[in-house]
Structure 1
């Protein structure tokens, strides 16, 4: 796995750590692409998502050497034949290891670690929030990978549509596919999350329907949680306004 570790220019002792996960198709990009968190005085580690990075920005650099059964183009159905083969099993493992790797740097304060991301990155951050018990905060924006059974029939936008198109060809495999997906549904990881959490949702989002985001938010087990609602936005969500909201919110934790 590859990623970028960005440090505040004047860091001489350990500072809080923000670990960020990318949206669908995105990779770590180029070193100078995203300086928000480092410029706010925090260490910033951005994880490359394996085999992704060609959907925009500066690209990715990590291959996925693991093969899979026949799948619809994209990532949503790779290895969907069984939980142990599914693509996001590897991605979620990468994400937890990314937190561990970033925490090992001498200029990161491991006790003050935040996980965040937008869309796919938001779904990954929820999974990390359920798998890493000692995060100080989690901030999933318009998260993807939530409530697969509902999302797959509610929207015809990609990437969720990949699931329907796969099942359109592989008739009779719906039950098996949904069983595999259930192991990676962010709603179930949310039920394990204990850190303070700030979610966001856009009520006109056709890519990640609002009801699927609220399913994950409602399942989040930690008592200290909030959600920013953007009434008239699609999947772009709050954009720079929500970045400002996260910066304000995180002052209480890191």
Structure 2
């Protein structure tokens, strides 16, 4: 059995369950946040895209997210009558939704695939994004992790998680979607967002995070050797008096805390040689999920690429058994 090069042995990982303190108003915080977003936003707009993809339907979705802000997404789906199960996917750190038709696998497998743009991102890799983040923050290090870092109400990921849940709200209302069969997925940052969506949205019926980021912040910011967690480490090396405030803020956003609220089936993946998202932080979230139907795929000799398309094959098999 492979051992983690960056963290702890696999047998220890399977037992790892940190006692992360939970804010007493966590549920109220997210209930208020989502209620405010739903009150601020109205209907979504959907426009069919013309282009080289001819055997699938590709649509450009604009929906109201946090504070009613317009957020973009691609919908790619098979032709023919519905409703069909849907897979909502969130993007990794720094990336955007890219160009129409870039991601066809889920639609080719018979699902409605919805790919959310991440507000303010889209210029770090890939082919771009289309969603601005109109909200500012106080002093921050380069990147997204420390934007609004001293207040959960102001933090960047409060807005992103809200976008993710609001997207599921709108997907559930689409006539070509079977609202009883909606799954969420994503890799790295997208996996962390999927955990949040699975915890906060009653419409989600399955959660499939791959090498999920944004989990077990207390360990991640002290032990992870690679960015983006080191953005927080660097911030605290300057703002030496803000450690308690920062950890409090992050406790509202921590996937290993939010995962305690996931009651639907989950399929995680983890890579034991990952230096961007430590395996222990993934297991912290996975082990916190109370759902009886939960599995984790372990890639012993991979880094942050995880299982890549191998894992997609596993997801299709797993999801078809449940949907």
- The TM-score with structure 2 as length reference comes to 0.77
SS in 2 for 1:2: strand
Matched, 1:60 2:129: yes
> Could you tell me which of 181, 197, 202 is aligned with 2:271?
202
Q: Distance in 2 between matches of 1:45 and 1:103?
A: 11
Residue 120 (structure 2) aligns with: 51
Q: Distance in 2 between matches of 1:130 and 1:252?
A: 22
SS in 2 for 1:242: helix
1:196-235 Cα shifts (integer Å, max 9, x gaps): 0000000000000000000000001111000000001000
Q: Distance in 2 between matches of 1:72 and 1:109?
A: 42
Q: Distance in 2 between matches of 1:105 and 1:58?
A: 27
Instruction: Identify the range of structure 1 (222-231 vs 128-137) with the bigger mean alpha-carbon deviation.
Output: 128-137
Residue 106 (structure 1) aligns with: 175
Matched, 1:4 2:85: no
Matched, 1:224 2:293: yes
Deviation at 1:177, TM superposition (A): 0.5
Asked whether the 8 Å contact 1:137–1:196 carries over to 2, the reply is: yes
> Could you tell me which of 226, 233, 240 is aligned with 2:302?
233
Residue 251 (structure 2) aligns with: 182
Q: Which has the larger radius of gyration?
A: 2
Deviation at 1:106, TM superposition (A): 1.2
The alignment's C-alpha RMSD in Å is 0.8
Q: Which runs of 4+ in 1 moved over 3 A?
A: none
Residue 82 (structure 1) aligns with: 151
> Could you tell me which of 214, 218, 232 is aligned with 1:149?
218
Asked whether the 8 Å contact 1:16–1:113 carries over to 2, the reply is: yes
- The TM-score with structure 1 as length reference comes to 0.98
Residue 3 (structure 2) aligns with: none
Instruction: Identify the range of structure 1 (136-145 vs 99-108) with the bigger mean alpha-carbon deviation.
Output: 99-108
SS in 2 for 1:112: strand
Question: Structure 1 regions of 5+ residues with no counterpart?
Answer: none
Aligned length: 253
Deviation at 1:7, TM superposition (A): 1.2
Deviation at 1:167, TM superposition (A): 0.7
Q: Distance in 1 between matches of 2:205 and 2:131?
A: 28
Residue 38 (structure 2) aligns with: none
> Could you tell me which of 209, 215, 219 is aligned with 2:284?
215
Asked whether the 8 Å contact 2:76–2:101 carries over to 1, the reply is: no
SS in 2 for 1:5: strand
Matches within 5 A, 1:124-163: 124-163=193-232
Asked whether the 8 Å contact 1:11–1:107 carries over to 2, the reply is: no
Asked whether the 8 Å contact 1:136–1:253 carries over to 2, the reply is: no
Residue 122 (structure 1) aligns with: 191
